[in-house]
A = this chain, B = another copy of it.
């Protein structure tokens, strides 16, 4: 078959889905090619280190270096660099900077400083991790998600903080008024992104954050239009009215989207209504939503969508592939 698949990924959810997809295709379609376009809006420079949380989570997950229980960061990790930075009084102290992880950031920072674009740096890092997929940052240009929140004064002013500060320090508990993707307007998709989408048999929106992960990727000029030319299957990151992990509800609320499998499907939109989706997968527990989603003109399926381990993620990927094949032949 040699399918060509593009996945737009954030961190944990996207990474685990892609690992399942890779496992499933290795068994059923070994000549298939997977390209993962990864959100870089969460990237941040701390302590002089350029940190790309989503790229690293995908790379470590696919390369066997991930802390499985935690979902991010390295296995057998220690935090002595961070302990010492804190002892020096350096801020911020809320970022979980591991020692092994620091080496990745050092390699990346050094290459970026030497003038290599992030896509080439990512390729160089992947020469070690051998993820078995092509890993591309959404853009080589700097795009940073900032979160506009109340400034806490009586006159109701606002201020913007970096996404990482809102997510990690404030734990998304301070309501976001809106998200700003700084630099997105002038950003270009990284080399290979549009080509991979154009060549894809279909595109998958995995159970990543629809706002600050997939939404940020879609905000890079040219990406949404390219995807609209290809069949698109999505997997709901919302199960039973709550995010499977992370705090996607806080993001959805900020943009006025209901935290439900149907709400997110409506947000992405049906292809026939100018949206993206041909098909949408919800978890079995949300089977009641299938009719609502179908009414939106989106092919809907309820399957076991919780990725508890590699076999369940592989099974979910199989469901996505089956649905994608069905949509393509329709």
Contacts and interface: CB of A to CB of B under 8 A. Distances in A.
A84 B89 CA distance: 26
A49 B113 CA distance: 12
**Which of A80, A83, A128 has the most C-beta atoms of chain B within 10 angstroms of its own C-beta?**
A80
A84 B104 contact: yes
Contact of A80 (B78, B110, B113): B78
A174 interface: no
Interface string A53-91: 000000000000000000000001110111111011110
Contact of A84 (B100, B109, B127): B100
Contacts of A82: 103
A115 interface: no
A107 B128 contact: no
A152 interface: no
Q: Please report whether the interface of chain A is mostly helix, strand, loop or mixed according to DSSP.
A: helix
A16 B239 CA distance: 63
B99 A81 contact: yes
A102 B100 contact: no
Given A48-B113, A109-B48, A102 B88 contact: no
A99 B85 contact: no
A32 interface: no
Given A88-B128, A89-B128, A128-B87, A81 B103 contact: yes
A226 interface: no
Contacts of A84: 99-100, 102-104
Contacts of A76: 80
A82 B128 CA distance: 15
Interface string A39-57: 0000000011100000000
Contacts of A49: 106
Contact of A110 (B48, B87, B104): B48
Contacts of A103: 80-85, 87-88
B80 A99 contact: yes
A41 B103 CA distance: 26
A76 to B, nearest CB: 8
Nearest to A112: B48
A198 interface: no
Contacts of A88: 103-104, 107, 125, 128
A82 B106 CA distance: 11
Interface of A: 47-49, 76-78, 80-85, 87-90, 99-100, 102-104, 106-107, 109-110, 113, 125, 127-128
22 contacts: A47-B107, A48-B109, A48-B110, A48-B113, A76-B80, A78-B80, A80-B80, A81-B99, A81-B106, A82-B103, A84-B102, A84-B104, A85-B103, A85-B106, A85-B107, A87-B103, A87-B128, A88-B104, A88-B125, A88-B128, A99-B102, A102-B102
Given A80-B99, A85-B107, 6 more contacts: A48-B113, A78-B78, A78-B99, A83-B100, A87-B103, A90-B107
